[in-house]
Amino acid sequence: MDVSEGIKTDVKTANGMMVPGTFRVIAGPCTVESYEQFEAGATAVKRAGFEYIRGGAFKPRTSPYSFQGLGEEGLRIMSEVAGPLGLKVVTEVMDPYDIELVMEHARVLQIGARNMANFSLLKRVGAAIAGTDHGVVLKRGLSATVEEWLLAAEYVTASGGDNVVLCERGIRTFETSTRFTLDLSAVIVAKRLTDLPVIVDPSHAAGRRDLVVPLSKAAVAAEADGLMVESHHDPREALCDGEQALPAETLLGLKGALQPFASAMSREVI
Ligand code: PEP
Ligand code: MN
C-alpha cells in the first residue's frame, strides 16, 4: 500500500496563505513586548525569507500573574511594523468581543489550544471572516482527539468561515522531557480525513529550542503543509516562552535546513 494514500498534498486556501506545492512557514515571537522587540523579530522573519509573522497581543497564560500581552497596543505595533515589510500578521483572538479589532490588524486569526472548544468563539470567528481574505489557524486542544479538533474546525466553516488551517501543537502525555508531545500521527490522520491544510507548531510541542529544527524536518516528512515557529532576537530576555524561541541566526538558516526535506516531498519552503 502506498503510505501516502489518501493524504492530500495540494491543499490551498482561497486567501493565498496555503499554496499547493509549498510548505508555509509562519515565524515570530511568542508575544509582542515592545515596538523595538517586534521590529527586530519582524526584520529577522523577513530576512529569513518568510511572509507570515506571528506574535501574541492577547495571551492565554496559565497563570493570571504572568505577562498577559499588550492587547490593542500590541496589535497596533504588529500591523505598523509588518505592513511596510510586506509581512502578514497571525495573532490569537481569545474573546469574541475583540474579533473585529484583531481583524483590523491581522490577516490570520489564531484560535489557541485552550480555546479550541470555545464554540461561541469558533462560530463568531467563522461568521466574522466569511467572505473576507482573513484566515484562521486552529490549534489542537491540549487533550483533544483528532475528531474533536476537526469538529471544532467545522464550527468555523459551518459559520461561513473559509481559509481554515489546522495546527498540531503537541498534546499532554506522561512524558516530561518535552513540554507536550508532538503528535505527528495526528497530522497524517487529519490530512486523510479533511481537505483542510495542516501545519505543525514544534515550539510549543517541544518547549525547548534544540528540538525545534529536527521536529520541523519531521513535520515536512509527515506531509504537513507548513510550520508555526517561535523566534526572538534575544531569547534569554523574552517575556514569554524564551526557552523554545529560535534565535535569529537559526531562523535565518531555517529555510535552507528544511528545503532538502521539502524537495524530497516536492515542495518549496516559503
Ligand atoms: C501561541 O501560539 O502563542 C500559543 C499560546 O499556543 P497554544 O495555544 O498552542 O498553547
Ligand atoms: Mn508561546
Query: What is the per-residue pLDDT across 94-133, written as a single tens digit (0 to 9) for each?
Result: 999 999 999 999 999 999 999 999 999 999 999 999 999 9
Q: Which residues line ligand 1 (CB under 6 A)?
A: 30, 56, 60, 92, 112-114, 139, 169, 201, 204
**Ligand 1 atom nearest 110 alpha carbon:** 2
**Ligand 1 atom nearest 139 alpha carbon:** 9
Give the closest residue (by CA) to ligand 1 atom 6: 112
Overall pTM > 0.95: yes
Helices 184-193 and 146-158 meet at what angle, rounded to 10? 50
Give the closest residue (by CA) to ligand 1 atom 4: 112
Please check whether residue 41 is in contact with residue 20, taking contact to mean a CB–CB distance below 8 angstroms.
no
Residue 202 Cα to ligand 2 middle (Å) = 11
- Residue 132: the pLDDT is 97
- Residue 2: the pLDDT is 52
Average pLDDT over residues 237-249: 97
Residue 183 Cα to ligand 1 middle (Å) = 15
8 pLDDT band, cuts 50/70/90, is confident
Please check whether residue 227 is in contact with residue 203, taking contact to mean a CB–CB distance below 8 angstroms.
no
- Find cell 524561541 and name the residue: 245
Please check whether residue 204 is in contact with residue 182, taking contact to mean a CB–CB distance below 8 angstroms.
no
Give the closest residue (by CA) to ligand 1 atom 9: 113
For residue 199, the ligand closest to its alpha carbon is 1
Average pLDDT over residues 234-247: 97
- Residue 1: the pLDDT is 45
Q: Does the structure show a pLDDT above 60 at 173?
A: yes
Residue 126 CA, distance from chain mean position: 18
Amino acid (1-letter code) at residue 104: E
Distance CA 79, CA 76 (A): 5
Three-class secondary structure of residue 135 per DSSP = strand
Average pLDDT, the chain: 96
Q: Ligand 1 pocket test: which of 110, 231, 240 has the largest number of ligand atoms within 8 Å of its C-beta?
A: 110
The radius of gyration of the chain from alpha carbons, rounded to an integer in Å, stands at 17
**Which has more pLDDT, 9 or 198?**
198
**Ligand 1 atom nearest 30 alpha carbon:** 3
Q: Ligand 1 pocket test: which of 26, 204, 212 has the largest number of ligand atoms within 8 Å of its C-beta?
A: 204
- Residue 4: the pLDDT is 56
189 pLDDT band, cuts 50/70/90, is very high
Query: What is the per-residue pLDDT across 41-70, written as a single tens digit (0 to 9) for each?
Result: 999 999 999 999 999 999 999 999 999 999
| β strands within the chain, DSSP E | 22-28, 52-54, 88-92, 108-111, 135-139, 164-168, 198-200, 226-230, 268-269
For residue 61, the ligand closest to its alpha carbon is 1
Residue 75 Cα to ligand 1 middle (Å) = 16
Query: What is the per-residue pLDDT across 71-103, written as a single tens digit (0 to 9) for each?
Result: 999 999 999 999 999 999 999 999 999 999 999
Give one DSSP letter per residue of 18-79, joined into a string.
S-TTEEEEEEE-SB---HHHHHHHHHHHHHTT-SEEE-BSS---SSTTS----THHHHHHHH
Q: Does the structure show a pLDDT above 50 at 224?
A: yes
Q: Does the structure show a pLDDT above 90 at 246?
A: yes
Residue 241 Cα to ligand 2 middle (Å) = 5
- Residue 7: the pLDDT is 77
157 burial type by CB count under 10 A (0-12 exposed, 13-18 middle, 19+ buried): middle
